[in-house]
Amino acid sequence: MKAIAKFPSLAEAEPGSTQVSVGVLFQAQLDDGKCIALLDDRGFFTSAQWQQARPEEIRDTALAAVGPDEPAPGRTQAEALHDYWEYIASLLAAQQIQEPTEELVKLEHEVRFGPRLQRLLASSGR
């Protein structure tokens, strides 16, 4: 049976952007090291130039970008969290990975920077 070790998100600078623009791929990493893409439509941008970008801010914003989202009107934060983790569990189930939502919530979530983002941060001295 496949088990999830953690949730790594890959944050990568959008090609050709002069302002901070980052795509974020939310993944599940299995015990054997294999990663499965769960959310590939997330990201963010700001009006800041790359020279002003701070790694901690990018990491924090990337975590927020992959969810969970703020609750919809009339819904509570607890309901939004529950719905988010149920959705993640359903994406995993589609990959034949059964994991209870209460276990998913406990897993580590880390953000890794892609090569373009690393180069941009290094060139700005960050």
pLDDT tens digits for range 20-31: 999 999 999 999
The number of domains in the chain is 1
Domain span including residue 93: 4-118
pLDDT, averaged across the chain: 94
Dmax of the chain from CA atoms? Answer: 46
- Asked whether residue 124 is domain-assigned, the answer is no
Residues facing residue 29 across a β-bridge: 6, 35
The predicted pLDDT at position 124 comes to 75
pLDDT, tens digit (0-9, with 9 covering 90-100), for 86-125: 999 999 999 999 999 999 999 999 999 999 999 999 987 7
- Asked whether residue 81 is domain-assigned, the answer is yes
From first CA to last CA, the distance across the chain in angstroms is 41
Kindly list the distances between the CA atom of residue 78 and the CA atoms of 5, 57, 75, 84, in Å, as whole numbers in the listed order: 24, 25, 8, 10
- Asked whether residue 125 is domain-assigned, the answer is no
- Asked whether residue 123 is domain-assigned, the answer is no
- Asked whether residue 126 is domain-assigned, the answer is no
- Asked whether residue 71 is domain-assigned, the answer is yes
How many Cβ atoms sit within 10 Å of the Cβ of residue 46?
Answer: 14
Report the alpha-carbon distance of residue 45 to residue 19 in Å, rounded.
7
Enter the tokens of residue 102: 């209460």
